[in-house]
Amino acid sequence: MPRFEPGQVWTYRTRPDEEVSRVIVCRVDSHETDNAIIHIFVEGVAIAGAHTAISHAPICQKALRESVLSLESMRESLPGYEEGYKTWKTSYDEGDAGVFTISVAECVEGIEEAWVKGR
């Protein structure tokens, strides 16, 4: 089982035509009920044909483990995820936000659907 650490760049089971997409681990939070919450940045996606990255997505360790294929590299610097993390953390602490328990590809799909509806 992979151990997730900030800076890791993973290949994963992507949506069709997004094989160049990668997951970057930005932060790992331990949590008593969710085991570990992994905060990821997803690059190389085509969200509604416009956006090429998801700057922050909190996902449970189990779902991420089932999504990743191989550790590709390590990055010295992390992409900009902090703003999304802070917004999520405030909402999570207030009980108004959760953690993805689905695959990364399904997260991307769900985020795209929400973005399109919110336009």
Q: What does the pLDDT look like over 71-118, one tens digit per residue?
A: 999 999 999 999 999 999 999 999 999 999 999 999 999 999 988 887
pTM to 2 decimals?
A: 0.91
β-bridge partners, 12? 68
Annotated domain spans of the chain: 8-118
Sheet (strand 35-47) strand order: 51-60, 35-47, 22-31, 8-12, 68-74
d(CA 43, CA 84): 15
Predicted confidence at residue 6, as pLDDT, reads: 97
Predicted confidence at residue 67, as pLDDT, reads: 98
Predicted confidence at residue 7, as pLDDT, reads: 98
- Quote the distance between the C-alpha of residue 102 and its chain's center: 11
